[in-house]
Amino acid sequence: MSMLKDDKQVIIFDTTLRDGEQALPSSLSVKQKLQIALCLEQLGVDIIEAGFPISSPGDFEAVRTIGREVKNSVICGLSRCVEKDIDAVAESLKDVTDHYRIHTFIATSDIHVQDKLKKSFDDIVEMAVRSVRHARNYCDDVEFSCEDAGRTPIDHLCRMVESAIAAGATTINIPDTVGYTLPYEFGGIIETLFNRVPNIDKAVISVHCHNDLGMATANSVTALQHGARQIECAVNGLGERAGNCALEEVAMIIRTRSSYLNGLYTNVVAENIARASQMVAGICGEPVPPHKAIVGANAFAHSSGIHQDGVLKNRSTYEIITPESIGIKENNLHMTARSGRHMIKACLDKLGYKEGTYDLNEIYQRFLSLADKKGQVFDYDLEALLFFSNSEEEETQFTLEKMNVLSGGKDLIPTASVAIKIGKRTKVESGTGNGPVDAVFNCITRLTGIRCELTKYNITAKGSGMNAQGQVDVDVMYNGRQYHGKGLSTDVIEASALALIHACNSIYRAQIIEQEKKEEQETK
């Protein structure tokens, strides 16, 4: 049974919940797996490999629950070429969904056959055929995988593929299990199968590429060019060792380079990619590296002045896909010492300052001085440069003087006492919270009178060992505008207090600027 609508469709087979989970330090709960599965369904994934039912009662229940709840994606369970494994997949899915897939596999490379399985290749072929036939007793959607196909002698691989199709497999998967092959080499394997296996047209050819040499996506796309029509992948590239082919990468390659790939397409709803990436990263506890293609924090960030100038004039100069196309609202132009005048002017335009009301050269020189000290400059910093000649020194309204914190315990409520110098006076406030940082933040809020919403809180270690300092970065929203604060201390609670006070000082300066702007308008 083929799921292909036409010869241009590429089936997306997601294995985040099976191969992806194998890379995690601990298993996901049934509820967590269901959350991810429902997100994958909204993403437009054709097939969700929900787990390995024979491996544990938890995996069995997860596959069964996902099969019951997901309606628009085909649910698949993995099995070895062992009858009880296949029975477990069928048992987990047969009563909860009308259409499901059994995915059975066995190793075919010499090193696996001889050293791991300790059998002859004839024995392996017999086991594969028997297992595919057994799976067909339960359903007509059976996938067979030749584990370590990338290192399997081509004559053996052709024989195995032909035998599995003859036994009833409707999808044949060719995995580069250890990420060993190069694109030209892997493409040649797929091409040879199409040329030498007489019944190859009776099944969809799939690939499952690992990233041990960084070739997973390249090998997968090359396989498409040689006739494969299913790609097995995982959100954020999660998977054993260095990971799998990343779903978001292959989906956007096919979408962006469709004409080069002769009109290939997928059913992936690209605008849901960013949400899926964030959900998987959050639930799995696997942060996405900033430089990760498509979904990394820097994927649409521009710091170079030359790049910023190009993007401001025409986004396609340095963006081959738009952030909106994957569900991100906008690109991110960082103001750093590398930024050029065009970037600064564009930011001032966005803030409402018309050209001619300021000296761009003067502001730019002061901006560079500030950027050298701060690293990254924010829009409210830039605005302050227009109003405060000494803003590079960041004169403060609020300064932390003292702080005492009782962290709490089983029978204690977290409590804090904070003293802040406000102008020339020092004020003290005490309060409680859900934790020590919350208690400190509550005190600072009452002392400054600035009630802002904390939207981001991040701790990073600066240095190593017991004396390492902790840097806390916070983002807060105040009157519809975002502000950033940073604090550094060997005590992370103190660093947290310093970060919030830093943000409050920025808000205070912005309030003064707004007042001065209002007074200027009233005098005109």
Domain ranges for the chain:
11-284, 301-393, 398-523
Residue 366 has pLDDT above 80, yes or no: no
Mean pLDDT within 475-482: 88
Residue 189 to residue 173: CA distance in whole angstroms: 12
35 contacts 291 by C-beta, under 8 angstroms: no
Beta strands at 425-432 and 453-462: parallel, antiparallel or unpaired = unpaired
Question: Which has the higher per-residue pLDDT, 345 or 307?
Answer: 345
Strand-pair partners of 419: 402, 428
The architecture (CATH level 2) of 398-523 comes to 2-Layer Sandwich (3.30)
Out of 334-338, 397-401, 406-410, give the one with best mean pLDDT: 397-401
Tens digits of residue pLDDT in 69-99: 999 999 999 999 999 999 999 999 999 999 9
Taking only Cα atoms into account, the Rg of the chain, rounded to an integer number of angstroms, comes to 29
Residue 363 to residue 342: CA distance in whole angstroms: 12
**pLDDT of 76:** 98
Residue 203 has pLDDT above 90, yes or no: yes
Question: Which has the higher per-residue pLDDT, 380 or 344?
Answer: 344
Q: pLDDT-based confidence at 318, cuts 50/70/90?
A: low
23 contacts 277 by C-beta, under 8 angstroms: no
First to last CA, the chain: 76
Q: pLDDT-based confidence at 384, cuts 50/70/90?
A: low
Fold held by 11-284: TIM Barrel (3.20.20)
Mean pLDDT within 2-29: 90
Q: pLDDT-based confidence at 183, cuts 50/70/90?
A: very high
Buried b (16+ CB within 10 A) or exposed e, 4-23: eeeeebbbbbbbbbbbbbeb
Question: Which has the higher per-residue pLDDT, 169 or 380?
Answer: 169
Question: Which has the higher per-residue pLDDT, 368 or 171?
Answer: 171
Strand-pair partners of 157: none
Out of 30-34, 206-210, 278-282, 325-329, give the one with best mean pLDDT: 206-210
- Nearest one of 290, 289, 280, 273 to 327, comparing CA atoms: 273
Residue at 17: amino acid letter: L
Q: pLDDT-based confidence at 392, cuts 50/70/90?
A: very low
Q: pLDDT-based confidence at 300, cuts 50/70/90?
A: low
**pLDDT of 466:** 53
- pTM confidence score: 0.70
Worst-scoring range by mean pLDDT, 135-144, 355-364, 384-393, 472-481?
A: 384-393
Residue 103 to residue 208: CA distance in whole angstroms: 13
Mean pLDDT within 458-463: 72
